[in-house]
């Protein structure tokens, strides 16, 4: 009995060390990238450049927070990039309609509409996956085509641009503004991540998400409403997409059928690099944010240095997700 207890204790200790390694690894990688960036360009560690990198990562970081919930529950959402284009297009079209004469009220109504549409798109993905019993990969692949097709139809193959310069000037600080020197998008990243971390780590629903992702059958036998839990993860994903849209529209003031292309790959990569298991059952919000920063820093280093062509950014991101999955597989085998 003593030997068995000792063996179990050692195994638990090894597992604890592995879990710590997976949690810390993204932050170690981030530090190493910062060091590499400092050597690659003297301008890399400037405050302006780092703030620019963090600001540019806002869209993927916020969307990836929602993806963390979906993936932690054993799901997958490939439609987020197309959803961004669709929600942003409807938001701009509403603002162009001029149905509300007061510019502040119009802006508030447009932002509320974007939130509602994002939640509705997430709900559709969730119901198709749970009630329709279609694999998440197939379900969201289908809705990806639907959202992208609707955007193309709405724009007639062109672009949808915010026409009111007054409204654009009023909305401009939502992306380009700062509070106490900190750009607004960075504040939104931190607020979204903090709220997501609280829900995932400190609430009953968060525990249910992890339980469903760990073992769906056990969760169902334990009385957890599996379908409801999973549907809500997709709604959360839709809400995160809408928040990203609220920052995207004031930045460019225009959308097209190509808006958000491959953002789903970047969001999933950020989640996996951040230590969340793609098979579900493990979710790390702050690791996801770190993963989004890593992706943007890699691109920034490639732009500032001449070691690798900037046109290979997509290839590098694809290699990163493969490497991250191999590392996760290796650590799982050690357990």
What would the pLDDT profile of 168-205 be if each residue is shown by its tens digit? Answer: 999 999 999 999 989 999 999 999 999 999 999 999 99
pLDDT by residue (tens digit) across 231-288?
999 999 999 999 999 999 999 899 998 999 989 989 999 999 888 888 888 889 999 9
Q: Is pLDDT of 117 > 70? A: yes
What is the rounded average pLDDT of the residues 51-79?
95
pTM: 0.90
DSSP string, 22-60: HHHHHHHHHHHHHHHHHHH-TTTTSHHHHHHHHHHTHHH
Contact status, residue 73 vs residue 229, Cβ threshold 8 Å: yes
pLDDT for position 120: 97
> Would you place residue 154 in the very low, low, confident or very high pLDDT band (cuts 50, 70, 90)?
very high
pLDDT of residue 310: 65
For residue 317, what pLDDT is reported?
74
> Which DSSP string do the residues of 239-307 spell out, in sequence order?
HHHHHHHHHHHHHHSEEETTTTTTHHHHHHHHHHHTT--TTSS---HHHHHHHHHHHHHHHHHHHHSSS
- pLDDT (0 to 100) of residue 10: 47
Judged against a pLDDT cut of 50, whether residue 2 lies above it is answered with no
Predicted pLDDT of residue 327: 72
Question: How sure is the predictor about 331, in pLDDT bands with cuts at 50, 70 and 90?
Answer: low
Q: How confident is the model at residue 15 (pLDDT cuts 50, 70, 90)?
A: very low
pLDDT of 111 > 80? The answer is yes
Is pLDDT above 60 for 302? Answer: yes
Kind plus residue range of the DSSP H or E element containing 156: none
Average pLDDT over the chain, rounded to whole? 88
Is the pLDDT at 321 greater than 90, yes or no? no
List the one residue out of 141, 116, 126, 138 whose CA is nearest residue 212.
Answer: 126
Query: Is residue 73's pLDDT more than 90?
Result: yes
Instruction: Indicate the Cα dihedral angle 318, 248, 136, 205, nearest 10°.
Output: 110
The separation between CA 201 and the C-alpha centre of its own chain, rounded to angstroms, equals 18
> Is the pLDDT reported for residue 335 higher than 60?
no
Average pLDDT over residues 28-53: 87
Task: Grade residue 328 by pLDDT with cuts at 50, 70 and 90.
Answer: low
Kindly state the percentage of the chain with pLDDT values over 90: 63
Indicate if the pLDDT at residue 18 is higher than 70.
Answer: no
Distance CA 235, CA 73 (A): 13
**Strands annotated E in 182-260:** 182-183, 254-256
Q: What percent of the chain has pLDDT over 70?
A: 90
Q: Is 73 helix (H, G, I), strand (E, B) or coil?
A: coil
The CA R_g of the chain, rounded to the nearest whole Å, is 21
Residues 33-45 have pLDDT tens digits of 888 888 888 888 8
3-state secondary structure of 171: helix
Backbone angles phi, psi at 256, to 5 degrees: -150, 180
pLDDT at residue number 7:
46
């Amino acid at each position: 009995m003593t030997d068995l207890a000792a063996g179990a204790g050692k195994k638990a200790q090894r597992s604890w060390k592995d879990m710590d390694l997976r949690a810390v690894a993204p932050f170690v990688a981030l530090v190493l990238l910062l060091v590499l960036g400092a050597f690659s360009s003297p301008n890399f560690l400037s405050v302006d450049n780092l703030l620019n990198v963090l600001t540019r990562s806002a869209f993927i970081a916020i969307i990836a927070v929602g993806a963390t919930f979906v993936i932690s529950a054993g799901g997958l959402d490939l439609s987020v990039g197309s959803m961004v284009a669709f929600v942003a297009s409807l938001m701009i079209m509403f603002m162009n309609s001029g149905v509300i004469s007061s510019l502040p009220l119009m802006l508030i109504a447009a932002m509320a509409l974007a939130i509602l549409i994002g939640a509705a798109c997430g709900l559709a993905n969730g119901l198709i996956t749970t009630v329709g019993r279609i694999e998440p990969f197939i379900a969201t692949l289908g809705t990806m085509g639907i959202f992208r097709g609707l955007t193309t139809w709405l724009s007639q193959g062109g672009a949808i641009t915010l026409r009111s310069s007054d409204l654009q000037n009023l909305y401009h600080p939502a992306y380009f503004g700062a509070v106490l020197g900190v750009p607004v998008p960075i504040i939104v990243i931190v607020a979204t991540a903090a709220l997501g971390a609280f829900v995932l780590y400190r609430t009953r629903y968060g525990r249910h998400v992890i339980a469903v992702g760990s073992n769906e059958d056990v969760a169902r036998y334990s009385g957890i409403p599996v379908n409801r839990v999973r549907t809500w993860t997709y709604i959360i994903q839709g809400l995160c997409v809408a928040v990203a849209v609220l920052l995207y529209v004031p930045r460019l003031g225009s959308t097209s059928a190509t808006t958000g292309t491959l953002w789903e790959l970047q969001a999933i990569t950020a989640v996996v690099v951040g230590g969340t298991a793609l098979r579900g059952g493990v979710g790390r919000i702050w690791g996801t944010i770190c993963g989004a920063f890593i992706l943007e820093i890699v691109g920034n280093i490639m732009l500032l240095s001449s070691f690798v062509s900037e046109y290979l950014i997509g290839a590098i991101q694809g290699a990163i997700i493969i490497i991250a999955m191999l590392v996760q597989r290796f650590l799982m085998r050690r357990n």
